[in-house]
Amino acid sequence: MFPTRLLVLCIALALFVVSGCESSQAKVEKVVFYENVDAGLKIYESSNWILDSEVSSKPFNAIFKQDNVRVIVSIVPSVKSLDQIKKELNLDRDYVQLIEETADSISFQLNEKESIRSDIYLESKIDETLVLTFFTPVEGYEANQEIMEEFKNQIELTY
């Protein structure tokens, strides 16, 4: 009789633990902060970003901001390489200092009245490219890196 009760108790405990694990692993649904169905873009809520303006729909451009950080989100046809974009930006000017370059990003600093750092990130999908262009004051760059990275990670291309 004792082993039967012990077996029932073990089974009940196992079921309780399994049901508790399943409920704790429930998927947390992200809140969509901005969506443009035509552009195939969703941005999930993160760090108090707000839409500053939607500039155009073809190609898609929208500006978001949080305090003194701005980001231009663009979706353009995948016809330009990073080198072509660098040429168009004319980064060899006296007031432009190239900071870092990778296969899918460029960072540079504009040295004018107020020094501004710009980071451009590219992500190519099928026949379009997502371009994120961040602008932040140089003196606040380190403090703003985390919110910029978080914003990048909240973007989903839905096409």
Sheet with 69-77, edge to edge strand ranges: 50-57, 60-66, 69-77, 128-137, 116-125, 105-110, 96-102
* Residue 4 pLDDT grade (very low, low, confident, very high; cuts 50, 70, 90): low
Cα gap 134→70, rounded to integer Å: 6
Question: Which pLDDT score is estimated for 66?
Answer: 93
pLDDT digits (tens, 9 = 90+) for 17-54: 444 444 444 456 888 999 988 888 899 988 789 999 88
> Cis peptide before 59, with omega less than 30 degrees from 0?
yes
Q: What is the mean pLDDT of residues 85-111?
A: 79
- Strand-pairing partners, residue 120, are 106, 133
Mean pLDDT of the residues in the chain: 78
Q: What is the mean pLDDT of residues 67-92?
A: 80
Higher pLDDT, 46 or 135: 135
